[in-house]
């Protein structure tokens, strides 16, 4: 009888060890944000909330407090033992990590790759169409025929700006567009200078927006991530309009766009589990990109936007 009990206990212990082993070594997806563009990790939380809804894989929430982007990647690989890493970051950096870690799949949001690596995936959303709709709204709404665009980086925001320009000119041939970027040099009080510790990204975006509004621009489309509050503040102070990402809030917001990461990554994870992972994915305005219009937009313009969207 005693031997039987011993064997039962050993069997239970062994089962628990197996379960623990399987749990530790399960397929895990970790979300990482590029801290150089998201210093307060607001975007990381935003990403995690959406990605956590993805089915077919365990999504681990990791405390990256105080770590640089490279340190976050290394931590996710070495400590968390991530199988897939999702990041809104530099495509070149992610490619470098993919080349160095063959056993981990790196998924870059906002990029596609010409060179094919088995463990490197680009997920893009049709920023041109979203930008076009935003531009159409801006062109229809502006009273001064002057609108603006503030981006993070010229290369990153190319499709947004091209769509924004085409949409604005389609709805209003008289419109002119002012363009500026946060970039590596920073715009302060009317001129460019090197960034100092005293100058936050919010101050920089505020100064760029304020200069545009003072020059007669009455609608600005911004895509500056965590720096959006600066543009929204300027819009409020100058009683002008802003177009932004839907994660931002402003009483002066005409319209906003939102990438549905849950939709896109669900497709990627399914293909990963089925052994059919592709190198590049593109999701359009009707599959993974949402555009919302506020009550500041007239019903007539809303109807026109619906008709345009049907044709996209």
* Band of residue 36 on the pLDDT scale cut at 50, 70, 90: very low
Q: What is the pLDDT of residue 268?
A: 87
In this structure, CATH architecture of domain 127-258+290-311? 3-Layer(aba) Sandwich (3.40)
Q: What is the pLDDT of residue 215?
A: 95
Contacts of 149 (CB under 8 A, 6+ apart): 157, 160, 161, 164, 177, 178, 179, 180, 220, 221, 222
* Band of residue 189 on the pLDDT scale cut at 50, 70, 90: very low
Question: pLDDT, tens digit, for every residue of 166-184?
Answer: 999 999 999 999 999 886 4
Q: What is the pLDDT of residue 249?
A: 79
Question: What are the extents of the domains in the chain?
Answer: 13-125, 127-258+290-311
Same fold, 13-125 and 127-258+290-311: yes
The pLDDT of residue 162 is above 60: yes
The CATH number assigned to the domain with range 13-125 reads: 3.40.50.2300
Q: Answer for the pair 231, 205: CB distance below 8 angstroms, yes or no.
A: yes
Q: What is the largest CA-CA distance in the chain?
A: 93
At 21, give phi and psi (nearest 5°): -60, -45
CB atoms within 10 A of CB 72: 22
Q: Answer for the pair 9, 63: CB distance below 8 angstroms, yes or no.
A: no
Question: Is the full-model pTM beyond 0.75?
Answer: no
Q: What is the pLDDT of residue 158?
A: 87
């Amino acid at each position: 009888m005693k031997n039987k009990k011993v064997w039962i206990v050993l069997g239970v212990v062994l089962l628990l060890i197996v379960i623990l082993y399987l749990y530790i070594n399960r397929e895990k997806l970790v979300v990482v944000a590029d801290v150089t563009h998201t210093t307060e990790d607001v975007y990381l939380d935003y990403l995690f909330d959406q990605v956590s809804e993805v089915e077919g894989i365990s999504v681990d929430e990791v405390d990256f407090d105080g770590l640089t982007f490279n340190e976050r990647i290394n931590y996710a690989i070495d400590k968390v033992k991530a199988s897939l890493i999702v990041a809104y970051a530099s495509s070149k950096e992610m490619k470098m990590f993919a080349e160095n870690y063959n056993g981990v799949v790196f998924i870059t949001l906002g990029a596609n790759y010409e060179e094919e690596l088995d463990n490197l995936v680009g997920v893009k959303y049709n920023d041109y169409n979203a930008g076009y709709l935003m531009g159409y709204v801006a062109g229809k709404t502006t009273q001064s025929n002057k609108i603006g665009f503030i981006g993070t980086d010229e290369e990153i925001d190319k499709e947004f700006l091209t769509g924004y320009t085409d949409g604005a000119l389609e709805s209003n041939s008289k419109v002119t567009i002012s363009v500026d970027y946060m970039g590596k040099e920073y715009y302060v009080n009317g001129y460019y200078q090197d960034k100092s510790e005293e100058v936050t990204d919010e101050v920089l975006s505020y100064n760029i927006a304020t200069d545009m509004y003072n020059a007669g621009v009455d609608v600005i489309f911004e895509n500056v991530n965590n720096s959006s509050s600066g543009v929204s503040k300027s819009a409020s102070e100058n009683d002008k309009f802003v177009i932004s990402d839907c994660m931002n809030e402003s009483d002066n917001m005409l319209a906003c766009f939102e990438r549905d990461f849950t939709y896109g990554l669900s497709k990627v994870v399914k293909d990963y589990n089925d052994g059919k992972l592709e190198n590049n994915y593109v999701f359009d305005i009707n599959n993974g990109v949402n555009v919302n219009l506020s009550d500041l937009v007239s019903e007539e313009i809303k109807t026109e936007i619906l008709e345009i969207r049907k044709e996209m």
